[in-house]
Structure 1
């Protein structure tokens, strides 16, 4: 089977419309979470096909958040709610003179970025990545949850009113966007970092002996189920990478379980190395709009296991290369299924995953170019 030395991402088609100046205005710091990573990767892929592309967002420099007043996000002090300098935000947007403004988040950067973009006559595209209202059930009490849901309902409606198109990465999220008030909602794919695509992946695994979880250590990720699986399957080696409000839970379990390692938060290079060092990646989430980490592991030619709550499982061309945990199946059970696969089945699934990601990435680039130029 061919090993992929490099992958040149080309759109399947390109609009004849003139190149655009594209500005992303986001509340998410680059690479700090899935949304931040999404738009850094998208910028790389779109760069050769537009006149100019840039991003305005908070940043993390030497471990310190920058970009306005910062407040810990309720329920997760590792994330920040950022209050931008609105005058400076408008000046930065006017200086860039965008034809297209992309809004990925419902915070204050997103709300005012959408409004200013509309006032400047730019085409406004909104990425609807997370249904925060659903997460309130996991993080906050009834009073806090009610206030938080109220904020996101108002914020999303405001942003959607200023949007030409709202893009979501699953059919469920498209439906939610339409119910919230999006005049036009459509499905978008997810880009993959060139690092994961272009660097030669290791040989496909032939058995599942080691399992990696990487992501935010939070209630929606079903980490309790993962720890139960580690206790039930001592023959497997488990590694957990990431940070978040449940970090102490993982650290305590890592001290108790000889087959569980906590390896902390990883940058992109470290994450790639961790994926390559494991046979499988697992994402057993209760709530997951898509699951970019699963797509990245597929690009590294690993066996990938996700719950049916992950939006990536709704994409038929990707789901065919995934091992999907059903709602009535626990994490240990799906991992037992993975260990019972033959050498051929494990290797074939990993190779198919790599090929599916390459095709998905190309199709997504074409889709974004169509929405940017107004063809779709």
Structure 2
């Protein structure tokens, strides 16, 4: 449960006076980190805080927000170098009393500098352990080593200058401490209001349509999804997303008739797509949390994840999730789910939706306490 907040000191910030600047290198619609802070900003505004989400934008196939540089190994992504003067002017209008930085790129490092210059608290979100991805990108060669060295040094600087570092699994909290975080604690993941506010559509009694949604990259273990489609030809597999494996997946989809690639979708399209399927799968090799799994739980859909997904470290959520066994293939886990009594499956998904709503509310209260100055606030998912 959320710990009881201490009595506020005179220096603490009342929630109604919160002015929060979020400087993120992740575009709001392009990945889980971008979605996290767009959803968080919406929840904070709904509770009376003033929030500026300063990040690149991806609209109609084009990037906006600064000088565009290629991201090695992924032609679908860009690193943007922001305009210092434009961001400086925006922050002068907001006059933030706290700056949040979730990424170690140019936007994030500028956010760190501005927090120091303005003399305001810096809160850092730690979402990706880049070193854990190194083995999956061996074809990058020396570029992979250089990128990881740069990102690790940036994380050290961010952690050293922050008042608190937030990570979304206990493993990531320990990694943050090992890198140099003075204070590191858990954060949960917010859910877009419409995912919880709209009643979920009824599910079919049988599993017929399965969804994978996320970045099309090696760490997602998309080979397991393709192989499951081959083994289970009576199921329809839908893959939504974009990334460096897109061309490979397009080739596989041409050969596997029950495998469909729909590409990158906006969030409102993702909600409708989740409601149209009977289960979501996330067989990742590396997954700090797994936001899409939480969103599917909020829509009362069965979710199957690998043991590598950080969402399992939250007890309240893990009880509503089906897991691929250590020596089990995704196809076998799907067969188990299909054979489960529909009534049992429905009770599990109803409990999962309730748990998602609870963790969302706890996380919002946790963020509000932290941003208002209570850096001892904690959130957990054990009850």
Shorter-chain TM-score tier? over 0.9
Structure 2 residue aligned with 1:264: 263
Q: Does 1:121 pair with 2:119? A: yes
Q: Structure 1: which 5+ residue stretches go unaligned?
A: 1-10
Aligned mates of 1:92, 1:154 — CA distance in 2: 28
Q: Deviation of residue 133 (structure 1)?
A: 2.0
Contact 1:38–1:190 under 8 Å retained in 2: yes
Structure 2 residue aligned with 1:252: 251
The answer to which of 136-145 and 192-201 deviates more is 136-145
**Secondary structure of 2:177 counterpart:** helix
Aligned mates of 1:51, 1:329 — CA distance in 2: 46
Q: Does 1:227 pair with 2:226? A: yes
Q: Given the superposition, is the C-alpha separation of residues 215 and 51 from structure 1 closer, same or farther in structure 2, using an over 3 Å criterion?
A: closer
Structure 1 residue aligned with 2:380: none
Q: Alignment length, in residue pairs?
A: 366
Matches within 5 A, 1:95-244: 95-140=93-138, 141-244=140-243
Q: Given the superposition, is the C-alpha separation of residues 158 and 95 from structure 1 closer, same or farther in structure 2, using an over 3 Å criterion?
A: same
Aligned mates of 2:14, 2:339 — CA distance in 1: 53
- TM-score, normalised via structure 1 length: 0.93
The answer to which of 343-352 and 217-226 deviates more is 343-352
Structure 1 residue aligned with 2:381: none
Aligned mates of 2:179, 2:106 — CA distance in 1: 18
Q: Deviation of residue 349 (structure 1)?
A: 1.3
Structure 2 residue aligned with 1:18: 14
Contact 1:206–1:342 under 8 Å retained in 2: no
Q: 1:296-346, CA deviations, whole angstroms, 9 ceiling, x for partnerless residues?
A: 001111001111111101111000000011343221121121112111121
RMSD over aligned Cα, in angstroms? Answer: 1.8
Structure 2 residue aligned with 1:60: 58
Contact 1:59–1:66 under 8 Å retained in 2: yes
The answer to which of 173-182 and 247-256 deviates more is 247-256
Structure 2 residue aligned with 1:323: 322
Q: Does 1:313 pair with 2:309? A: no
Structure 1 residue aligned with 2:70: 72
Post-superposition, which runs of at least 4 consecutive aligned residues in structure 1 deviate over 6 A?
A: 11-15
Contact 1:204–1:351 under 8 Å retained in 2: no
Structure 1 residue aligned with 2:34: 36
Q: Deviation of residue 198 (structure 1)?
A: 0.9
Q: 1:128-152, CA deviations, whole angstroms, 9 ceiling, x for partnerless residues?
A: 0111222232124341221111101
Aligned mates of 1:291, 1:126 — CA distance in 2: 19
Aligned mates of 1:14, 1:215 — CA distance in 2: 39
Q: Deviation of residue 94 (structure 1)?
A: 2.8
Q: Deviation of residue 204 (structure 1)?
A: 3.8
